[in-house]
Amino acid sequence: MRLSEFQRTIEAIYGERDRARGLAGTHMWFQEEVGELTRALRRDRRAELAGEFADVLAWLATLASIAGVDLEAAARAKYGHGCPRCRATPCACA
């Protein structure tokens, strides 16, 4: 699944509810999911990691949708040519 398809899927599933909650309220849910991912990483809970990464990505996609940002286009524009500063892959910045 491409990132743009994932973003559209998450918007179709949760978009109405998330827009009603607003950017600030949705950001708080995103932060909670980042906290859950952090705990799984710190406690080396390998079995939980894939689900927590997916949850963080879903909430990030929701935030982007509410803000009117196409995540795939944004990622391509910023990182599609390597490091945003030096344009190299891998990064050659000091």
Answer whether residue 16 is part of any domain.
Answer: yes
Answer whether residue 87 is part of any domain.
Answer: no
Answer whether residue 47 is part of any domain.
Answer: yes
CB 61, CB 71: distance < 8 Å: yes
Answer whether residue 10 is part of any domain.
Answer: yes
With a threshold of 0.85, does the pTM exceed it? yes
Q: Which domain holds residue 22?
A: 3-79
Answer whether residue 93 is part of any domain.
Answer: no
Number of domains in the chain: 1
Residue 67 is predicted with a pLDDT of 97
Q: What is the pLDDT of residues 6-58, one digit of tens each?
A: 999 999 999 999 999 999 999 999 999 999 999 999 999 999 999 999 999 99
Answer whether residue 94 is part of any domain.
Answer: no
CATH number of the domain where residue 69 is located? 1.10.287.1080
Q: Report the C-alpha gap between 88 and 94 in whole angstroms.
A: 12
Answer whether residue 21 is part of any domain.
Answer: yes
